[in-house]
Amino acid sequence: MGFWNNFTSASSIPEAWNSIQLVDQLNAILAENDGKTKVFFKHSTRCGISLAAMSRLKSMELPQGAESYYIDLLEHRDVSNAIEQKTNVVHQSPQLIVWKDGRVIGHGSHDRVSQELIKSNLSL
């Protein structure tokens, strides 16, 4: 166990975030047309910038009714590729994608991974 294991383990995922490990899980979530905002966080466990974004997420309060999902890029690259294909948002890491009613309503990467990005897209 090295220093990085403290930051890269599955236990470091913020509690409110649900891990997506299968493309079928992603497809089911994207197919839901329930009016709920879905927020996807794509994270590389080997990237310092991604670790900083993860730290910001841990202190974030998600808006009521929003659903949050976590994708580990190194473990589940197929899921990352699928979300890029289905949303037409070019892959970056770290990255937030905000989805509602069958479409992307916002996205940002690197230092734009923030609560402000989520909140600014909730009224759309």
User: Which domains does the chain show, CATH number per domain?
Assistant: 14-120 (3.40.30.10)
Q: Is the pTM here over 0.85, yes or no?
A: no
Instruction: Characterize the bridge pairing of strands 38-43 and 95-100.
Output: antiparallel
Judge whether 114 and 41 are in contact, CB under 8 Å.
Answer: no
Count of CB atoms situated within 10 Å of the CB of 64 = 6
Please give the pLDDT value at position 81. Answer: 94
| Amino acid, single-letter form, for residue 56 | R
pLDDT of the residue at 120: 67
Average of per-residue pLDDT values in the chain? 79
Cis geometry, peptide bond prior to residue 63 (ω within 30 degrees of 0): no
